[in-house]
Structure 1
Amino acid sequence: MTKPSTPLPDPAAEHESVLSAIAALLAPLARLAVAKGLPAARVEAAVRLAFVRAAQEALTQAGLPSSRLVSRISTTTGINRREVTRLTGQRDAPLPAGGSVASEVFTRWVADRSLRKRGGGYKPLPRSGQAPSFEALSRAVTQDVHPRSVLEELGRLGLVTLSEDGETVQLAVEDFVPRGDARRMLAFLAENLGDHLNGSVDNLLGTRRQFDQAVFADELSEQSLPQVQRFVGQQWKRLLDEAVPLLERCIEEDRAAGRVQDRRVRIGLYGYDTRMEPVPQQDAPVQPSGRSNNRKTAAVQAPRRKRRE
């Protein structure tokens, strides 16, 4: 007896699912573009360029000769050959990196438990001198940038303050958010969400297993949100306290062992709240007590696809 064959996936249905997911991802980006006055034509041009580059990377990795790239990219993306030729020669002016020496110094300061007060908060540091001082902290991160320049950048971003005599440095905030620097904030957006999205796509395509999980809940009140937000902030501090020393130790061990150090990692935590979408009456039966049946609290694990051998 022959086993029943497994139905082949329906490409049209899969395409619709992918398109639906892309539309959902584009919605907040469209909101940003509209808020900043960026016309749709500019975004469409960026999308075409992204398609060409994605196809170019995939075809190059597959071993396609460079002489056939333009034709195959055109076939794969549906973009005409003349436009593909133009786009493959185009270079973008990159956004400034979200990560910087200033952010590294800030992160080291926040993560170093010896620089905290016993009752909470962070110790003010002498501007110069032996450790613990801002100068020593900065030089522990890099010898290539003068501590004065790092201090000026942190001050410009509103992350530190100086005492009246200019000899003591104090953290002004506990999170590195470069307020007042729109370009760097956009760089953080691109880097953080870009890596998160790349990890999710890796999981879907079976390219490489990446950690991607979340917890969601609905039927919360506005009054309960501060409690949730405090919890998220506490978890972030705990993650930062443990992750930074671990990563620094791994880097030093790799260096000492002479290993090839060509990998990077990004570990993040986010929390988001918004108003629930209205639920159709027929989908939300109400109990006599007045409580609905559609309350949800659940953990969501990233989809996993087996790699093809």
Structure 2
Amino acid sequence: MSTPGGGHPEGNADSALHRALERLMAEIARLCLARGMAFADAEELLKRAYVGAARAALPPGAGARDISRVSTATGLNRREVTRISNQAGAPPAPRRSPATQVFTRWVGSPLLRDARGEPLPLKRQGPAPSFEALAQSVTRDVHPRSLLDELCRLGLAALDEGTDTVRLLRDSFVPSEDQARMLDFLGSNVGDHLATAVGNVLGREASQLEQAIFADELSDESLERARQLVATQWKTMLAALVPQLQALIDADRDAGRPARKRIRIGLYSHQADMDERNDSAGHVAPDNEPEDD
């Protein structure tokens, strides 16, 4: 059986897989090199990921044969599989800090925005609307001043000592001065995005939303305008979704329903020079849906 491009479907799928992995690994390698991680360390992480994925795919009750099955599936020898299996598991996914939750609720709450949709400055103390009331709506386990200090340290908020008011300095949480937290976000956001895309490709679960739009033949001026459009859309989506998601959480809690599920909703925008080999006319199209002829 052949495909319109010639060759066997399996071979074409393998080539596509290699191309996809090469692009993904190129960015992983760039990050590892920039952070001084040697190849051996990255290789060890990949081995652990292989063993973990192979174990997750084992049928129930594999028992004593699981080492052999994992070895066969991964191509790693039994000694390596045993060594990796005896090591502690990977750290759990990072949880959102209370400061992050305060920031998100401040940005997303319609009660804390002015007529232009911008986050309001807040009195540091006192009844709502105040930073103290906002912080206590998120948690009473951490003092509001500690949460304020953390937001200020991350460059997300500033305290005006003269008026004793707090204002936000940005409308998205990308703490450039906190590399560890940025890397946590990278793993969480890209990890969930990749899990969605891989799950859709494998087709073993119900498809999840994973769409994109691409546009080419843009000037520098148009690209800057496009960036502004994306930022505006993110603000709109954030303001619309955060209160509704919080209402769902509150409703589950009030109804006593088991709450074991999570959702991550994101928006990204990537800008780069066009491939010099691409000489097509400028156009806009979905990136993962077939285009009309």
- Deviation, 1:267, is 0.2
Aligned ranges for residues 17-96 of structure 1 at < 5 Å? 17-59=16-58, 62-91=59-88, 94=91
Contact 2:54–2:73 (CA<8 Å) still a contact in 1?
yes
Go from structure 1 to structure 2 and tell me whether the alpha carbon gap of 1:29 and 1:80 turns closer, same or farther (over 3 Å shift).
Answer: same
Go from structure 1 to structure 2 and tell me whether the alpha carbon gap of 1:121 and 1:258 turns closer, same or farther (over 3 Å shift).
Answer: closer
Percent of paired sites with the same residue? 45
> Which residue number corresponds to residue 296 of structure 1?
283
Aligned ranges for residues 273-292 of structure 1 at < 5 Å? 273-279=271-277, 284=279
Distance (whole Å) between structure 1 residues aligned to residue 222 and residue 95 of structure 2:
32
The reply to whether residue 194 of structure 1 matches residue 194 of structure 2 is no
The reply to whether residue 113 of structure 1 matches residue 110 of structure 2 is yes
Contact 2:218–2:282 (CA<8 Å) still a contact in 1?
no
| Cα deviation 1:182-225 (Å, max 9, x = unaligned) | 01000000000000000011111122311000100111111211
Moved more, 212-221 or 17-26: 17-26
Distance (whole Å) between structure 1 residues aligned to residue 225 and residue 9 of structure 2:
45
Moved more, 91-100 or 20-29: 91-100
1:143 pairs with 140, 162, 166, which one? Answer: 140
2:125 pairs with 124, 128, 132, which one? Answer: 128
Go from structure 1 to structure 2 and tell me whether the alpha carbon gap of 1:92 and 1:72 turns closer, same or farther (over 3 Å shift).
Answer: closer
> Which residue number corresponds to residue 248 of structure 2?
250
Normalising by the residue count of structure 2, what TM-score does the alignment of the two structures yield? 0.90
The reply to whether residue 158 of structure 1 matches residue 145 of structure 2 is no
| Cα deviation 1:155-203 (Å, max 9, x = unaligned) | 1101111112472111111111112110100000000000000001111
| Cα deviation 1:121-140 (Å, max 9, x = unaligned) | 32211111111111100111
The number of residues matched between the two structures is 283
Distance (whole Å) between structure 2 residues aligned to residue 13 and residue 227 of structure 1:
39
- Deviation, 1:95, is 8.1
Go from structure 1 to structure 2 and tell me whether the alpha carbon gap of 1:66 and 1:153 turns closer, same or farther (over 3 Å shift).
Answer: farther
> Which residue number corresponds to residue 5 of structure 2?
none
Distance (whole Å) between structure 2 residues aligned to residue 25 and residue 253 of structure 1:
40
Contact 1:200–1:212 (CA<8 Å) still a contact in 2?
yes
Larger Rg: 1
Distance (whole Å) between structure 2 residues aligned to residue 270 and residue 231 of structure 1:
12
The reply to whether residue 264 of structure 1 matches residue 262 of structure 2 is yes
Distance (whole Å) between structure 1 residues aligned to residue 55 and residue 244 of structure 2:
37
| Cα deviation 1:244-289 (Å, max 9, x = unaligned) | 1111111122222222111000000000110011117xxx4xxxxx
2:229 pairs with 228, 231, 234, which one? Answer: 231
Moved more, 162-171 or 47-56: 162-171
- Deviation, 1:11, is 4.3
Q: Which runs of 5+ in 2 are unaligned?
A: 2-7
Distance (whole Å) between structure 2 residues aligned to residue 250 and residue 170 of structure 1:
28
What is the RMSD computed on CA atoms of the aligned residues? 2.1
Moved more, 217-226 or 11-20: 11-20
Q: Which runs of 5+ in 1 are unaligned?
A: 285-292, 304-309
Structure 1 consecutive aligned stretches of length 4 or more whose deviation exceeds 6 Å: none
One-letter amino acid matched to 2:251: E
One-letter amino acid matched to 2:60: G
Distance (whole Å) between structure 2 residues aligned to residue 302 and residue 182 of structure 1:
36
Distance (whole Å) between structure 2 residues aligned to residue 225 and residue 200 of structure 1:
27
Contact 1:95–1:187 (CA<8 Å) still a contact in 2?
no
Normalising by the residue count of structure 1, what TM-score does the alignment of the two structures yield? 0.85
> Which residue number corresponds to residue 290 of structure 1?
none
- Deviation, 1:294, is 3.7
Go from structure 1 to structure 2 and tell me whether the alpha carbon gap of 1:88 and 1:11 turns closer, same or farther (over 3 Å shift).
Answer: farther
Aligned ranges for residues 170-181 of structure 1 at < 5 Å? 170-181=167-178
The reply to whether residue 216 of structure 1 matches residue 203 of structure 2 is no
Distance (whole Å) between structure 2 residues aligned to residue 186 and residue 43 of structure 1:
15
| Cα deviation 1:109-150 (Å, max 9, x = unaligned) | 011122222245322111111111111001111122221221
| Cα deviation 1:18-44 (Å, max 9, x = unaligned) | 222111111111111122222222111
